[in-house]
Amino acid sequence: MTIENISINKSFGGWHKQYTHQSKTLNCDMRFAIYLPPLASNKQKVPVLYWLSGLTCTDENFMHKAGAFRMAAELGIAIVAPDTSPRGTEVPNDDGYDLGQGAGFYVNATQAPWNRHYQMYDYVVNELPALIEDTFPVLNKRAISGHSMGGHGALTIAMLNPEKYSSVSAFSPICNPINCPWGQKAFTAYLGDDKAKWKQHDASELMKQASTFVPAKVDQGQADNFLTEQLKPETLEAAATLSGYPLEYNLHEGYDHSYYFISSFIEQHLTFHAQHLNK
């Protein structure tokens, strides 16, 4: 595997680094970012939080705006932020911001023209962690978190792979994509018309039926423009009640869908993950 470092910045005594690599899963070059806390060295390995971003984002949004490094440095946690889709001129795209590049939805596409590149589920679950654990001073202790489309990705990936993640969290996640416009558009394109296949990537459906639990924390702003039509956290909450899922869910008055919300509560999420990663 070839991996190339393209930027490096010291922050809170640790290092933010961006890399490109050829992804066999996605059939294109991909960029990701990693934050390595001061504790990380060849002698001391650290656990990893994978962060999945929302629609239109790249590896940069979280690293620039979340204000996460202070606590990651203090707690000794690495953070890995992949891109949100395959990229490149050869990769199919769509005119909408909510399909195609920047909108991979963390599923494996089965439909043309998407299926050759849009395999974000396999990339995030398998190829990327293998690359990270081969390359950096990290343990194979993993947590996963994300925002909006990335919150959907984090919740579904954790529930489909409970043995791989010690905890999961999400900000403003798309909780029930089979019943919202963003999810219906993307799942139709990537997965086709068979709604039974959609349910395998719907956080509320998975949570309803779950019997193996990954401790989960979800935060949602009440002033979020997408709350009612796209996010539907009440469906996730009902599903957790049904299965007895350990979901810590909080609504926050006045907060919106932006990184101004995420940055306000990222410390709580990192502390939550640290508790489970260090067990």
Binding residues for a second copy (CB under 8 A): 9-13, 16, 64-65, 67, 69-70, 221, 223, 252, 254-256, 258-261, 263-264, 267
**Least distance in angstroms from the C-beta of 258 to a second copy:** 5
Given the complex with a second copy, which of 29 and 256 has the nearer CB atom? Answer: 256
Q: Rounded to an integer, what distance in angstroms lies between the CA atom of residue 198 and that of residue 194?
A: 7
Residue 59, both tokens: 């590896």
Given the complex with a second copy, which of 118 and 259 has the nearer CB atom? Answer: 259
Note if 98 is an active site residue: no
Active-site residue identified among 23, 85, 145, 148: 148
Residue 8: how many CB atoms within 10 A of its CB? Answer: 10
**Least distance in angstroms from the C-beta of 82 to a second copy:** 19
Which residues fall within 8 angstroms of residue 258, CB to CB, at 6 or more apart?
none
**Least distance in angstroms from the C-beta of 135 to a second copy:** 21
Given the complex with a second copy, which of 62 and 165 has the nearer CB atom? Answer: 62
Contact at 8 Å (CB) between 170 and 180?
no
Query: For residue 99, how many C-alpha atoms fall within 13 Å in the half-sphere facing its CB?
Result: 19
Active-site residue identified among 201, 257, 273, 276: 257
Note if 152 is an active site residue: no
Given the complex with a second copy, which of 1 and 8 has the nearer CB atom? Answer: 8
Note if 224 is an active site residue: yes
Given the complex with a second copy, which of 111 and 264 has the nearer CB atom? Answer: 264
Query: Which residues share a beta bridge with 34?
Result: 17, 80
Active-site residue identified among 166, 224, 269, 276: 224
**Least distance in angstroms from the C-beta of 13 to a second copy:** 8
Choose among 42, 132, 37, 33: nearest CA to 76: 37
**Least distance in angstroms from the C-beta of 10 to a second copy:** 4
Give the active site residues: 148, 224, 257
